[in-house]
Amino acid sequence: MVDRFSRRAFLGGVASLIPAAGLAEAPLVSLRPQLRGAQVTGVDRLVQAARLRGEVVFAVADVKTGMVLEASGGQQGLPPASVAKALTALYAMDVLGPDFRFETKLVADGVIENGILEGDLILVGGGDPLVDTDVLAAMAADLRKAGITEVRGAFKVYDGALPYVFSIDPGQPDHLGYSPAISGMALNFNRVHFEWKRDGTGYDVTMDARSRNYTPSVDMASMRVEARNLPIYTYQPSARQDRWSVAKGALGNGGARWLPVRKPALYAGDVFRTLARVNGIVLSRVQITRQAPQGTALVVHQSDPLTDILRGMLKYSTNITAEMVGMAATKARGVAPRDLAESAAEMNRWAQETYGIEGIALVDHSGLGDASRMAPEALVAVLAAGSNSEELRPLLKPFTLTDRNGNPVKNHPVKVDAKTGTLNFVSGLGGFLTTAGGAELAFAIFTADVAHRATIPRAFRERPDGARSWNRRSRKLQRALIERWGALYGS
């Protein structure tokens, strides 16, 4: 499963956000005594040393009692970035169940005689965020094994299991692969692979749906190289194509990157037609339907269990996984969301009902949207509640502590499992901490210079000036706070 996420390195860049700056509030007095003889740096000094413009808020609590041990601005909401995915994981496990599996089907709507389907073949998306080209290839082969040799009706793709969303965050530049379209049918995280190689004075370009074992070209996405320097990419939609152009002056000798897909159902249908043809089954032009299909299931692909999907989502921070899983959970609660905001609002209600908290106001399930707000004390209350440390912690990625030079510290006495979150001038970290003495803590740290972020034009949000150094200082502060808590509450 890990290999399905490995090409995330192609995405490149970071993301975005928005409003207000000010000094962090003074921390609450610790509810536990400091270890005698330990030199624990005060919070004010740590925050000042970070030299961060904007705001710093955090909270840490005892997992067993839920008691807040220390907080600064703990009830103030800031953008959580991808730390929001930790809440989405809990939401999905509670509503869908840890063993839930998504299903993608090939359905025959018509009579089958002597291997000939006298009717329509429908590729039915069930909201599985992990379908890739290898999965579709296996389904095409299984269709042939089921005895189908010809389809005389239409070939349709059903994507109505989830609402269609053009982009997770429309505030992002068009070409960023981590903000693709969403629907009930997904393929390769709804990204298409663009590759270019210099060919004399021009370029040879390809657009394909590559996976581990296959590299089928696609017709629904096209690329045109134009004689310009800026903008690097432009996007133009059409009825049946994602039409891209790229600046010749930015290409160099060659390279590749993943671009977002805005027509997921058409993308999946395009690729499946190619794979079916390899198996001797010729399908007609793809038709998209949002009408629930009727007929006989010929092939059924089941996803990995939900816990495995969530583990990959938290490790690789895949936005599309968070959004599709989150909307599936909302739908399972009997709510039919029209967009991400409505689905996130239902998750916010769930958090309030389940944990009796305020301070969570997300606009999506991934944390990519710049209007989301989360208070650190609210997240800490969720993390420390009930058996959440036992259910969520094994899914979180171990967080490596470093020395003053940024080198990883092997066998560090403090063990941390957490979800990171990074947007331009926004950084978050939330999860669990075990001290050397065995104390179990839940914590959340959010930093943001949202006022400065609001001044960055949309076209420059991939890598704005100063973002890297700001986020690096924020991460250094996060580690310093964890070191403080490990020493302060070590026994």
- Look at residue 291 and tell me whether its pLDDT is greater than 80: yes
> How confident is the model over 133-143, as a mean pLDDT?
98
Strands, E assignment, 238-339: 242-247, 254-260, 286-289, 296-302
Lowest mean pLDDT among 11-15, 298-302, 387-391, 452-456: 11-15
Q: What is the DSSP letter of 186?
A: -
Q: Which residue has the higher pLDDT, 95 or 24?
A: 95
Task: Give pLDDT, residue 361.
Answer: 98
Task: Give pLDDT, residue 355.
Answer: 97
- Mean pLDDT for the chain? 91
In sign, the C-alpha dihedral spanning 252, 254, 258, 262 is positive
Task: Give pLDDT, residue 491.
Answer: 66
Q: What is the pLDDT of residues 317-358, one digit of tens each?
A: 999 999 999 999 999 999 999 999 999 999 999 999 999 999
- Look at residue 488 and tell me whether its pLDDT is greater than 80: yes
What's the rounded Cα separation, in Å, for the pair 134 and 184?
18
- Look at residue 177 and tell me whether its pLDDT is greater than 90: yes
Q: Which domains does the chain have, with CATH numbers?
A: 2-98+338-488 (3.40.710), 188-262 (no CATH)
Q: What is the pLDDT of residues 90-133, one digit of tens each?
A: 999 999 999 999 999 999 999 999 999 999 999 999 999 999 99
Task: Give pLDDT, residue 39.
Answer: 56
447 backbone φψ class: left, alpha, beta (φ>0; ψ -120 to 50): beta
- Look at residue 404 and tell me whether its pLDDT is greater than 90: no
Give me the helices (H) in 188-317, please. Answer: 264-278, 306-316
Lowest mean pLDDT among 224-228, 300-304, 404-408: 404-408
Task: Give pLDDT, residue 416.
Answer: 97
The type of residue at 91 is Y
What's the rounded Cα separation, in Å, for the pair 147 and 350?
46
The type of residue at 141 is A
What's the rounded Cα separation, in Å, for the pair 367 and 446?
12
Q: Which of 205, 197, 210, 308 is nearest to 253 (CA)?
A: 197
Task: Give pLDDT, residue 186.
Answer: 98
Residue 26: band (very low, low, confident or very high) from pLDDT cuts 50, 70, 90:
very low
The type of residue at 303 is S
Task: Give pLDDT, residue 408.
Answer: 87
> How confident is the model over 253-272, as a mean pLDDT?
98
Q: Tokens 């290409």, residue?
A: 251
Q: Which residue has the higher pLDDT, 406 or 78?
A: 78
Q: What is the pLDDT of residues 217-234, one digit of tens each?
A: 999 999 999 999 999 999
- Look at residue 38 and tell me whether its pLDDT is greater than 90: no
What's the rounded Cα separation, in Å, for the pair 177 and 319?
10
- With b meaning 16 or more CB within 10 Å and e meaning fewer, what string describes 294-307? ebeebbebebbebb
Instruction: Please give the structure tokens belonging to residue 11.
Output: 């995405």
